[in-house]
């Protein structure tokens, strides 16, 4: 039977599902992966919706498309797709992509370590994977420069009042708020609905009130939020819950005051948090930083060195984490399917 679209994918997770598309995508024009990302966004955004919305996806779902790299020193490229945007970098997705490329034999695995270079839209990401018995036991990647954009800024959030926040770049602009500002709110799965509500409101207010700019990615603003607090688990230093947008927020419509919590400890969010802590003098270079997600698993970060990014002080972080393959998928679109871009319903979507 012929289908309108047929896509092969490997499903992996580090808590949150991170689909890796390995086949079925026509040639994507562009000289670099960054240019390919822009072409896809402008010319075939229905593909992103098809892969991430129901019935093939759900709100807390990310996706990656494997593409040829433009840099001769890179082993593969990947474009990152999320519910409302195309991030230039994502840590959890990078860990999942590496796991799929090596465990599925798309790139050769060497034990005990495999070194490789991937080309993200943000540029070259250098990686070391710890491998044993054909499995990827851990992935460490060297991220793009991270920096603090705002420290201890006070914003007014409708229905919440004044909230103190930081803003950091770790591959996306994160607004970060200490959860201890909200009485009774804890970073536990049982409080997921309220975490998403508070986080979405903080994200939208910060985007309205705190200007940000990245010298290499014009037009990218605050698109994601993080509630943060110390962890009482001896395996971790801090705990976080990152909330991704699943649609536009309208202050006049409370049904839109929500999002999807990142079920993993969040790689770029950890980099942003480390950059903020470093700027405050609370995290020196070369100290292990163990960041726990809402499910309890941990990504470990480290700041390697201080650098200058277009006259702005920044730091180079690494992140170590693990992902696991959980499914092999052939996704199809029937010619007669009345929902070629999938669909969203307000019971679980913004």
- Tell me how many degrees the CA angle 160-163-165 measures, rounded to the nearest 5: 140
Indicate yes or no: pTM above 0.85.
yes
pLDDT digits (tens, 9 = 90+) for 130-167: 999 999 999 999 999 999 999 999 999 999 999 999 99
Write out pLDDT tens, residues 173-217: 999 999 999 999 999 999 999 999 999 999 999 999 999 999 999
**Domains in the chain, start-ordered, CATH in brackets?**
5-143+324-333 (3.10.310.10), 147-318 (3.10.310.10)
- pLDDT tens for 287-333 read 999 999 999 999 999 999 999 999 999 999 999 999 999 999 999 99
What tens digit of pLDDT does each residue of 75-94 get?
999 999 999 999 999 999 99
Closest CA to 321 of 127, 174, 133, 132: 127
Give the span between the Cα atoms of 69 and 123, in whole angstroms: 10
What is the DSSP code string of 130-171?
A: EEETTEEEEEEEEPPPBEEEEEEEEEEETTTEEEEEEEEESS
pLDDT of residue 1 exceeding 80:
no
- Is the pLDDT at 350 greater than 90, yes or no? no
- Which residue among 70, 90, 96, 228 is the active-site one? 90
Encode pLDDT of 22-41 as tens digits.
Answer: 999 999 999 999 999 999 99
Determine whether 90 is an active site residue: yes
């Amino acid at each position: 039977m012929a289908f309108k679209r047929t896509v092969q994918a490997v499903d992996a997770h580090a808590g949150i599902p991170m689909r890796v598309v390995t086949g079925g995508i026509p040639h994507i024009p562009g000289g670099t992966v960054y240019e390919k990302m822009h072409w896809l966004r402008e010319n075939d955004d229905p593909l992103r919706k098809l892969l991430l919305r129901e019935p093939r996806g759900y709100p807390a779902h990310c996706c990656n498309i494997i593409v040829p790299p433009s840099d001769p020193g890179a082993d593969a490229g990947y474009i990152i797709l999320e519910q409302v945007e195309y991030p230039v970098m994502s840590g959890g997705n990078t860990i999942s992509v590496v796991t799929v490329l090596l465990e599925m034999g798309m790139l050769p695995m060497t034990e005990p370590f495999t070194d490789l270079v991937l080309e993200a839209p943000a540029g070259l990401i250098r990686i070391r994977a710890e491998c044993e018995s054909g499995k990827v036991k851990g992935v460490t990647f060297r991220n793009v420069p991270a920096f603090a954009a705002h420290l201890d800024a006070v914003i007014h959030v409708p229905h919440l009042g004044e909230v103190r926040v930081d803003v950091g770049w770790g591959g996306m602009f994160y607004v970060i708020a200490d959860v201890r500002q909200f009485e009774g709110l804890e970073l536990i799965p049982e409080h997921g609905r309220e975490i998403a509500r508070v986080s979405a409101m903080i994200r939208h207010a910060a985007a309205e009130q705190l200007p940000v700019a990245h010298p290499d990615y014009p037009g990218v603003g605050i698109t994601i939020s993080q509630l943060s607090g110390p962890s009482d688990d001896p395996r971790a230093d801090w705990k976080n819950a990152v909330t991704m947008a699943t649609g536009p927020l309208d202050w006049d419509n409370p049904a839109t005051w929500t999002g999807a919590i990142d079920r993993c400890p969040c790689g770029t969010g950890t980099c942003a948090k480390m950059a903020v802590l470093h700027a405050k003098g609370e995290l020196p270079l070369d100290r292990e930083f163990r960041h726990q997600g809402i499910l309890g698993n941990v990504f470990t970060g480290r700041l390697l060195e201080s650098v200058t990014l277009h006259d702005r002080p920044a730091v180079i972080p690494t992140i170590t984490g693990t992902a696991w393959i959980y499914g092999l998928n052939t996704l199809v679109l029937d010619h007669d399917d009345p929902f070629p871009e999938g669909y969203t319903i307000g019971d679980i979507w913004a």
